[in-house]
C-alpha cells in the first residue's frame, strides 16, 4: 500500500490577489473555471467567491487532419519531419494563431471521428490526439452517420408534411458533443483506450474505398465529352443506391447485408419521421420508395455536397486526368459533406478546395462557410487576425483576470513539457 497525499492548495492557481476576507496578499487565486463563471479561493483561510462570466459567441473552425499532423510535427522535435526540417514554418504560425484564439475564448476547433481514425493509422497517435484535443477542448462532432441520419429525419419530416422545399436547420449545437460557448477549464481530461480493433477496421475500410474509387475513376475516364450535369445525376444515383438500396434490396430478398452496411440507420430515420406525421405502418414502405425517388432528396446537404464533389472529380477524369485521387479523398469528401454546413470556416486540403471553387460547386454549396486551404493561406491568416481584432479591451482584461497574464501565450512547448 502506498499513501498519496494531495494538497488542495495545488488546485489554486494564478492570478493571485489579496484575500478580501483574511487580508493576506497573493493568496486569493483561481480555483476553477466552469461554463459561465469561475471561483476564487484563498489558500490561507479558504474563503471562496463565485464570479459569473459573460456569454461567449465562438467561431467554429474545422481543421483538416493534414494540418493537425503538420502542426504536431513542427512542434514535436522527436518526429523525423521535424529533425530533417521538412515542415513548413507556416504550420508553426498557424498553431500559434489558433491556440491563442482558443485561449482568448474566441474560436473552437472541434475534432471528429475522422481525426481519430486517421491518427490511429500513423505512428504518432498520442501526439496527434494531444494536438486536436488541445484545439477542440472537449468539443467533438458527433458520429457522421448520426449527423446524416438527423438531416434525413428532418428532411423526410418536411417532405411527409408536404413542405419538401423547407430548408433543414443546420444548428451546430445539435451535432457536437460538448458545449461550444463554455469558458474553458484550465484542464483537459483525455481518455486512452485500446483501439486495435478500430485500427484494423479503419485499414480495411480505407483499402476498400480506395479500390472502389480507382474502379469508379476508370469508368469516368471512358465518358469523354459528357457534361457536368450527366456526372451529377449519375453521382446522385450512385450515392442513393449506396445509402439506401442495399437495405431495401435486403428486405426484398435481393441482396445480402454485411456488418459494414449502415443503411438501416438511414431507413430508420425516414420511418421515424413518417411515423411522427401519422403515416400508417402498412403504408410506410410505399412512402419510403416514393420519398427515395423524389427529386427533393437531392437537397439534403450531405447528399448534395457529396454528389457535387464526386461529379467534379468525374468531370476531371473524363477531361483527361490520368491518376485517381489519393487514398484519403473519400474520407475528405465524407467529412466535408457532413461538417461544412455547420462551421463558420474550414481549413481543408488544396485539392478539395480547388473542386469547391469550381462552378457550379461554388454557387451550389452556399452555406455561408468560409473555405480555406494552403492555396489561400494568407487569406486564412487575415480571417483569424480579423477575429482577434474584434476582441475588446474589456474581454482581454477579463481573460487575464480569470486565467492569468500569460494565458494567451501559445503553448509551443506542448511536446517538451515546458
Residues 328 and 407 in one domain: yes
**Would you say the C-alpha torsion 237, 240, 245, 248 has a positive or negative sign?**
negative
Residues 215, 142 share a domain: yes
> Percentage of residues in the chain with pLDDT exceeding 90?
74
Same domain, yes or no, for 34 and 178? no
Confidence of residue 257 (pLDDT cuts 50, 70, 90): very low
Question: Is position 3 within any domain?
Answer: no
More confident of the two residues 299 and 254: 299
In this prediction, residue 200 carries a pLDDT of 55
Do 60 and 138 lie in a common domain?
yes
Looking at the structure, tell me whether residues 89 and 17 fall in a common domain: no
Q: Could you tell me if 66 and 35 lie in one domain? A: no
Q: Are residues 269 and 303 in the same domain?
A: yes
For residue 178, CA distances in Å to 104, 126, 138, 408 come to 18, 21, 6, 22
- Report the Cα 232 to chain-centroid distance in Å: 26
309 within a domain of the structure (yes/no)? yes
213 within a domain of the structure (yes/no): yes
Q: How confident is the model at residue 212 (pLDDT cuts 50, 70, 90)?
A: confident
Q: Which three cell numbers stand for residue 93?
A: 504560425
- Does residue 291 share a domain with residue 396? yes
Residues 61 and 45 in one domain: no
CA distances from 188 to 137, 194, 261, 379 (A): 7, 20, 35, 31
Whether residues 24 and 68 share a domain: the answer is no
Query: How do residues 274-303 score in pLDDT, each as one tens digit?
Result: 999 999 989 998 999 899 999 999 999 999
Q: How far apart are CA 74 and CA 79, in angstroms?
A: 9
Backbone angles phi, psi at 284, to 5 degrees: -55, -45
Q: Is residue 303 part of a domain?
A: yes
For residue 388, the tally of other CB atoms under 10 A from its CB is 15
Domain count within the chain: 2
Assigned domain for 2 exists: no
Q: Are residues 264 and 404 in the same domain?
A: yes
Domain that holds residue 14: 8-52
| SS3 state of residue 156 | helix
Whether 171 and 215 map to the same domain: the answer is yes
In whole angstroms, what is the distance from residue 12 CA to residue 163 CA? 56
Say if 415 falls within a structural domain.
Answer: yes
Amino acid at each position: 500500500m502506498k499513501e498519496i497525499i494531495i494538497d488542495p492548495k495545488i488546485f489554486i492557481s494564478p492570478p493571485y490577489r489579496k484575500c478580501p476576507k483574511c487580508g493576506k496578499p497573493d493568496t486569493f487565486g483561481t480555483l476553477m473555471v466552469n461554463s459561465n463563471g469561475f471561483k476564487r479561493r484563498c489558500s490561507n483561510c479558504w474563503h471562496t467567491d463565485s464570479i459569473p462570466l459573460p456569454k461567449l459567441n465562438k467561431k467554429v473552425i474545422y481543421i483538416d487532419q493534414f494540418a493537425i499532423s503538420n502542426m504536431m510535427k513542427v512542434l514535436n522535435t522527436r518526429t523525423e519531419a521535424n529533425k530533417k526540417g521538412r515542415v513548413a514554418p507556416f504550420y508553426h504560425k498557424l498553431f500559434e494563431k489558433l491556440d491563442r484564439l482558443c485561449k482568448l475564448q474566441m474560436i473552437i476547433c472541434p475534432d471528429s471521428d475522422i481525426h481519430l481514425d486517421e491518427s490511429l493509422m500513423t505512428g504518432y497517435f498520442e501526439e496527434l490526439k494531444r494536438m486536436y484535443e488541445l484545439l477542440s477542448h472537449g468539443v467533438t462532432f458527433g458520429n457522421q452517420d448520426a449527423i446524416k441520419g438527423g438531416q434525413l429525419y428532418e428532411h423526410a419530416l418536411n417532405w411527409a408534411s408536404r413542405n419538401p422545399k423547407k430548408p433543414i436547420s443546420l444548428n451546430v449545437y445539435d451535432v457536437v458533443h460538448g458545449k461550444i460557448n463554455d469558458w474553458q477549464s484550465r484542464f483537459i481530461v483525455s481518455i486512452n483506450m485500446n483501439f486495435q480493433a478500430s485500427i484494423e477496421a479503419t485499414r480495411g475500410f480505407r483499402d476498400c474505398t480506395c479500390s472502389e474509387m480507382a474502379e469508379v475513376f476508370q469508368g469516368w475516364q471512358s465518358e469523354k465529352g459528357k457534361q457536368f450535369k450527366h456526372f451529377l445525376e449519375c453521382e446522385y444515383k450512385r450515392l442513393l443506391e449506396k445509402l439506401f438500396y442495399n437495405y431495401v434490396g435486403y428486405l426484398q430478398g435481393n441482396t445480402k447485408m454485411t456488418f459494414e452496411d449502415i443503411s438501416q440507420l438511414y431507413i430508420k430515420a425516414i420511418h421515424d419521421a413518417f411515423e411522427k406525421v401519422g403515416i400508417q405502418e402498412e403504408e410506410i414502405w410505399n412512402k419510403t420508395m416514393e420519398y427515395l425517388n423524389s427529386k427533393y432528396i437531392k437537397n439534403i446537404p450531405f447528399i448534395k455536397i457529396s454528389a457535387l464533389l464526386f461529379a467534379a472529380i468525374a468531370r476531371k477524369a473524363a477531361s483527361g486526368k490520368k491518376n485517381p485521387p489519393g487514398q484519403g479523398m473519400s474520407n475528405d469528401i465524407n467529412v466535408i459533406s457532413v461538417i461544412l454546413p455547420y462551421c463558420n470556416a474550414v481549413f481543408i486540403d488544396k485539392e478539395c478546395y480547388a473542386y469547391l471553387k469550381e462552378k457550379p460547386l461554388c454557387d451550389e454549396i452556399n452555406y455561408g462557410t468560409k473555405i480555406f486551404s494552403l492555396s489561400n493561406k494568407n487569406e486564412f491568416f487575415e480571417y483569424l487576425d480579423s477575429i482577434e481584432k474584434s476582441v475588446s479591451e474589456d474581454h482581454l482584461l477579463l481573460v487575464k483576470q480569470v486565467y492569468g497574464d500569460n494565458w494567451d501565450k501559445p503553448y509551443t512547448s506542448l511536446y517538451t513539457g515546458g
